Amino acid sequence: MPVPGNHGLSYSATVSRQLVHRAAICEVFLTDTRRRSGDDFLVAAQLPRVHSYYSDHTLTPAAYDPLLLLEVFRQTSILVAHEHLGAPLDHKFSFNTGEFTILSTDALRIGPLPGQAVLAVRVTAEKHRDDQLVGVTLRMDLAIDDRDAATMAMTIQWMPGSAWAKLRERGRAALDLTTPRAHPTGRGLVPAAVGRRSPANVVLGEAVALGREVVAQVVVDQSHPALFDHPLDHIPGVLFFEAYRQTALHAAHELLGLSPGRLSLTRCDAAFTRFGEFELPTVCRAELVEGAPGQVPGAAVFRLEMRQEDAVISTAEVTLQCTSPLGRRFVPAPSPALQAG
């Protein structure tokens, strides 16, 4: 669990952009790191109170976006790999799986100063190739101003640019990309339908409800300054996480009549099985899950998948917690058998 205090970590400046794979200084949130023991590390982060992407929500009262914390976890995994585990700066990284949980929504309340976060990081598994460390699973616990806020288990791996190019070439050769089927670029959903204020931060186009499911087109805007901080050769995981959240929020409204402005993401477990290609349209499907194991009163759980044509390229399970006491009455409750364990 997170350790109270900052342990001598500094918040005076951000770490180098190349250590977290960011192009813009304003998109770097980590400020310091040190090794605590062999496989245990500490990382400091400062959380911005205002951000064009992470602050653009209809949820009240004002709180740090759970996906801001997920981005802090992502940056932490890369920083630890470079600074402490010997991953070369020119290597390419891939994100395989992640299990993200908010421990306390109260800890996300924005105060009078930027939040000071401390992350306790531990290597729980390693992947080697030819005696070289090429990937790890990390357990990361995050506290904001000495309050336990979130935890994440993440598996990543890295490889030289030449190996990455061969991997991408093989993967793309297996697909028919000679005739690109472009992503939709027309009007997206109304921002309020996915808990947003600005149309620029809406990543869903047309969406339809089919029984207990919602299917939505994913809008891939490569000019978005936060989701596409720098040019990429594939759709990034951060866009998938946003699409998962927005699809779940829209599904909660369409299937349960709940307001997206009264729902907060408290859990997202995701796995990535194939690269998302820019040439192929992407669709996100959300299915309402009633009586999910561990479901708490007032929470809606959705099982999601991301598809490009007939192939599933990523899957996720998302929990949305209703912040309205009245709204909680309409969220499907866990079945008695599951509650009894």
Please report the pLDDT score of residue 248 as a whole number: 98
Distance CA 114, CA 31 (A): 13
Tell me the pLDDT tens digit for each residue of 300-315: 999 999 999 889 999 9
User: Per the CATH hierarchy, to which homologous superfamily does domain 175-339 belong?
Assistant: Hotdog Thioesterase (3.10.129.10)
Amino acid 201: pLDDT: 96
pLDDT in tens, 52-74: 999 999 987 789 999 999 999 99
What stretches of 65-183 adopt beta strand conformation (E)? 92-102, 115-129, 132-144, 147-159
> Strands 311-322 and 299-308, how do they pair?
antiparallel
- What's the whole-model pTM score? 0.92
Fold: same for 17-165 and 175-339: yes
In CATH, what number does 17-165 get?
A: 3.10.129.10
Q: Give the tens place of pLDDT for each residue, 148-190.
A: 999 999 999 999 999 999 999 999 998 988 787 777 666 789 9
Task: Note the pLDDT of residue 339.
Answer: 39
Average pLDDT estimate for 272-296: 88
8 A C-beta contact, residue 65 and residue 57? yes
Cis check for the bond before 184: say yes or no (omega within 30 of 0): no
302: CB partners within 8 A, 6+ apart:
247, 248, 251, 252, 286, 287, 288, 289, 317, 318, 319, 320
Domain ranges of the chain: 17-165, 175-339
